[in-house]
Structure 1
């Protein structure tokens, strides 16, 4: 069976793997139809993601079809279209017992710590499948990205009429924006890339778009946008250590800064920048099962429109040559989707 593997840094390799067997108890056999390419896949490809080992079959943003189910499976049936919740938690460790399955001590994320969905079919825990009879495979492949943003926004917890800032308008920043807007907060976004800010202005009603140029002008724009109050919640979705180190300066007194982007570098700031406003720093990791259920309903209801997101498409042959371009900002990728079968 055909699959594609990230075999080493900046190298995609077509491989043949064994066909999966029949699903055992609690498992399902699924066919991959769509795989979304996200920042994690890019970081893995570039050798920058801390939880990734080579070689690995990527693919955790997936729209799949159920081919067979094992004994005891009741939440999905053959033929169901599903999004995959890729976080394989143990269910018994301290965070799992507290309901924090997203940061299980023994967590294995498919496509990152174990082989993922860039193959024709694979076995997966059936409880990690979220079906929808109405969503397309494209839409289902975007649910996981949206779930990351949903959880990050919940961690930031902006309230109606709060000033909220999201830094970095890649897919995770956009996903966070979707949910920040639903809270009634006054949302600003910031990015270095003017094309991404133009994308936001075209497709989203936000209060302010701020281009970061590093000369201090962004801070002046923030003061104007918030009447000098700054932001009660700031979400940094860049994964860039310079941005993450500087983001505290935008937080209002008693406000919070949420890191949803991840870096292997040190994040550095002077303690008074945190202490003076009595700010909180919060991490946001992965997502929770309820986020997937909520997002599927919101897309079905038309509250979230995923159509503008997909800017690039390829297939199993094309991805071998196209993937490198997705690492370059000038390509203009918001979300690339791979047609697998």
Structure 2
């Protein structure tokens, strides 16, 4: 079979690989659609804090079951499914407490272990979720929605609260959508006006804030909150300055959620701001099984037009161009999907 491989930063190739051999308790899957995650783009750029090379990317996907043993989940050949791509050890302190998404030896597909961007993959049956008839292209978007939804859940967003999401990429936009679904008044913020306008208009968000200068950001926060700051701020970029934005924009007693991942440090960090404002700061990593199951049902019920997040689709044989284009036009492209059909 063939697979997409990031050989090293800036180099994506289509290469021959051995067909995976299904083990007991696993299913053989045929890929249908896969989304290029921000972490995949980071791997391509050499900016991913966790990846090693060469690496088959991809952990957002839908697939068809080709082979599977009898199981108690009702999964059968021919079913269209998605999967939980965060492998956990099961024995560390986090896993023993049920925090499998924060396993100390976490291995996410496409990062610490080979990803899904191949014609065929195998997956443990326990990680496979019935797509319940969702379009395969939409089903491939459930995983990034889970990342965002998990972060919003960490903040326990309540109706009427003012929420600022910094970052109008896929994860940021879907975090804004999730917060809006919980009844919050949501502001989306970014440095890229095209992505900002697209997110604001397409998903019916309450406000937008163009972060084109420190002064503009400070004024925008003050205007939108009557000088009080936001009840919840969510960082979905992974840069020191955007995390600082979230701290600065938070009201006293606010909740701050960090979803973005970075290799960089914050220099001269005035950490007393956390004490002064009595901020509640939450890290948000990966997602849980319940996030997948709840969001499949939510999207199935028509609660979210998830397909609107897709701005570009490429055939899998054009993957090198997809990564190149995405890296060069990240300010305009939102979710890039790879078509394996």
Q: Report the TM-score when normalising by structure 1.
A: 0.96
Post-superposition shift, 1:259? 0.8
Question: Who is 1:162 aligned against?
Answer: 161
CA distance in 2, matches of 1:20, 1:243: 41
8 Å CA contact retained: 2:192, 2:331: no
Mapping 1:254-273, distance limit 5 Å: 254-268=253-267, 269-273=269-273
Q: Give the secondary structure class of the aligned counterpart of 1:258.
A: strand
Q: Secondary structure at the match of 1:318?
A: helix
Equivalent residue pairs, number: 340
**Superposed CA offset, 1:157-209 (max 9, x none):** 22221111100010000111111012211111111111112112321222211
What does the per-residue CA deviation read over 1:249-277, in whole Å, with 9 as the maximum and x for residues that have no partner? 11111112111001110024212322211
CA–CA distance in 2 between the matches of 1:74 and 1:133?
A: 13
- Cα deviation per residue 1:109-150 (whole Å; 9 max; x = unaligned)? 111111111111011111111112311110111000000000
Q: Residue in 2 aligned with 1:65?
A: 64
Relative distance call for 1:72 and 1:201 in structure 2 (3 A) is: closer
Is 1:202 the equivalent of 2:194?
A: no
SS of the residue aligned with 1:30?
Answer: strand
The alignment status of 1:324 with 2:324, answered yes or no, reads: yes
Contact 1:24 1:71 in 2 (8 A): no
- 2:293: which partner in 1? 293
TM-score (norm 2): 0.96
2:95 corresponding residue in structure 1 = 96
Given the alignment of the two structures, is residue 335 of structure 1 paired with residue 335 of structure 2, yes or no? yes
Aligned to 1:126: 125
Q: How does 1:10-89 map to 2 (within 5 A)?
A: 10-21=10-21, 23-70=22-69, 72=71, 74-89=73-88
Seen in structure 2, the aligned counterparts of structure 1 residues 205 and 228 have a Cα distance that, compared at 3 Å, is: same
Aligned counterpart, 1:279: 279
User: Cα gap change, 1:133/1:207 in structure 2, threshold over 3 Å: closer, same or farther?
Assistant: closer
What's 1:175 paired with?
A: 174
CA distance in 1: counterparts of 2:73 and 2:285, whole angstroms: 29
- Unaligned 5+ runs, structure 1: none
- Measured in 2, the distance between the counterparts of 1:331 and 1:169 equals 9
Q: Name the residue aligned to 2:304.
A: 304
Give the distance between the partners of 1:48 and 1:262, measured in 2 at CA. Answer: 10
Cα root mean square deviation, aligned: 1.5
Give unmatched runs, 5+ long, in structure 2.
Answer: none
TM superposition shift of 1:71: 5.8
Q: 2:251 is matched with which residue?
A: 252
Q: Deviations over 1:92-116 (max 9, x none)?
A: 2211122211111222111111111
Write the deviation string for residues 209-229 of structure 1: whole angstroms up to 9, x where unpaired: 110012412212211211222
Query: Is the CA contact 2:195–2:333 (under 8 Å) kept in the aligned structure 1?
Result: no
**Distance in 2 between residues matched to 1:101 and 1:75, nearest whole Å:** 24
Distance apart, 1:85 and its partner CA: 0.9
- CA drift of 1:331 comes to 6.3
- Whole-angstrom CA distance in 2 between matches of 1:80 and 1:266: 45
Deviates more, 1:257-266 or 1:318-327: 318-327
Contact 1:239 1:263 in 2 (8 A): yes
The alpha carbon displacement at 1:73 in A equals 5.9
